[in-house]
Amino acid sequence: MRLARVTVFAGHFGSGKTSLAVAYALWAKQQKDRVILCDLDIVNPYFRMANAVEDLKGAGIRLVTSRFANTNVEAPAIPAEALALFDDTDITGIIDLGGDDRGALALGRYAGLLRSGDAYEMLLVINQFRPLTRSFSDLYEIKNEIETASKVGFTGIVNNSNLAAETTLQDVIATAGFATEASKKLALPLKMTALDKRLIQSEEAKEKALLALDELFPIALYKN
């Protein structure tokens, strides 16, 4: 998997963008010295990457987030520090956007910088088990809404289909066809299939997953 200079995770509310962005940053840090993970969520005051602050700091990743995340203050504030991502092109940046078009709005302020700079990647995160993104027309609608709000075009999709702690390997494998078809219908390459690490602990499961799922990206999707 190619690591772009800036990767943006966007998609439907609750599709797993934050978990993915955190895992992706940890993966990126294994290849690059200077990695910034930037939280641009202006929609959801809970479940922010501030939850993973210990893991991220321990790995040496610079975290840019609103100091109001996970507090009682609901201010849709974006830290000025986010510009560091664009000022210093030596940095590898990962951006976590808020859900839907409302969340994507925050990216609009950086759209020009994103498009004029080095190649970026903006990934549409999909979870077939989420109730409002089960059809291709729903996905198409969300894709267009996010692109209009953010003024940035998607470059790929991520299949992050899961049922949280109750996910089985078979559940994820059953979504492979949907992801392939979505990739065709939206004319966006499937960049990765996220899979919780714990589902492929045995050699047999690993083999099965590799055979059935394209661009496998094993991550720690959720905490117990």
Return the beta strands (E) in 155-189 as ranges.
Answer: 156-159
Q: For the chain, report the end-to-end CA distance as a whole number of angstroms.
A: 28
| Per-residue contact flags (x/-) with other proteins for residues 190 to 209, judged by CB under 8 A | --------------------
Closest listed residue to residue 14, CA positions, set 120, 138, 148, 163: 163
| Residue 83 in tokens | 């510009």
Which residue in 30, 31, 54, 72 binds other proteins (CB under 8 A)? 72
Q: Interface with other proteins includes 220 (CB under 8 A)? A: no
Q: Which of 19, 162, 183, 193 binds other proteins (CB under 8 A)?
A: 162
Among 75, 164, 180, 197, binds other proteins (CB under 8 A): 164
Query: Binding string to other proteins for residues 114 to 153, with x set by CB under 8 A, is what?
Result: -------------xxxxxx-x-------------------
Task: List the helix and strand counts (H, then E) for the chain.
Answer: 9, 8
Selected range binding other proteins among 89-97, 103-111, 162-170, 202-210, rule: CB under 8 A: 162-170
Segments of 66-199 assigned E as strands: 92-97, 120-126, 156-159, 190-196
Nearest to 18, CA basis, from 36, 2, 45, 41: 41
d(CA 76, CA 33): 30
Q: Per CB under 8 A, does 101 bind other proteins?
A: no
| Footprint on this chain of other proteins (rule: CB under 8 A) | 13-14, 45-47, 72, 74, 127-132, 134, 162-164, 166, 171, 174-175
